[in-house]
Structure 1
Amino acid sequence: MKGNVGTIDRIIRVVLGLVLIGLGIFVRGGAYWWLAVIGAVSLVTGAVGFCGLYTLFGVSTCPRKEGTDPSKT
């Protein structure tokens, strides 16, 4: 499993994940548990540095290293 989530993307995912988990847990008066689930997925993908949807669509926010040939990886 090769990482496909860059540093800025990871930071955004972790912060967004924590906010959504907080909203899902602390918002009263409705069934907002799904916000916590989405937040948990965002938090995990940010912590691990890999997103399955990015792989499916061929997207990567990781910077390429100079002098590497992407066709050989």
Structure 2
Amino acid sequence: MKKNMGTADKSIRILVAAIIGVLYYMGTISGTLGIVLLVLAGVFVLTSFISFCPLYAPFGITTCAVKEKK
């Protein structure tokens, strides 16, 4: 797997996952929506740690900085 996520993308995903976790813990979101959002938050954290988003790959999207070869 080639990395396709930049630092800003990873930071935003972790921030969103943390917000979802706090909202679920406080009871603001619950039920089926809460579970779905918790799973989404887990996917965000996982993809942030491995720096690879499977949805970016088919479209050729990359948010990481490209190193120029000399």
Q: Quick check: TM above 0.5? A: yes
TM-score, normalised by the number of residues in structure 2: 0.81
Structure 1: where are the runs of 5+ without partners?
Answer: 69-73
Over 3 Å counting, the alpha-carbon distance change for 1:56 and 1:21 in structure 2 is farther
Instruction: Quote how far apart the aligned CAs of 1:43 are.
Output: 1.0
Structure 2: where are the runs of 5+ without partners?
Answer: none
Counterpart position of 2:59 = 57
Calculate percent identity across the aligned residue pairs.
34
Equivalences, count: 68
| Deviant stretches of 4+, over 4 Å | none
Please say if residues 10 and 46 of structure 1, whose CA atoms lie closer than 8 Å, have aligned partners that are also in contact.
yes
Between the two structures, name the one with larger relative contact order (CA 8 Å, sep ≥ 6). 2
Larger Rg over CA atoms: 1
Over 3 Å counting, the alpha-carbon distance change for 1:16 and 1:30 in structure 2 is closer
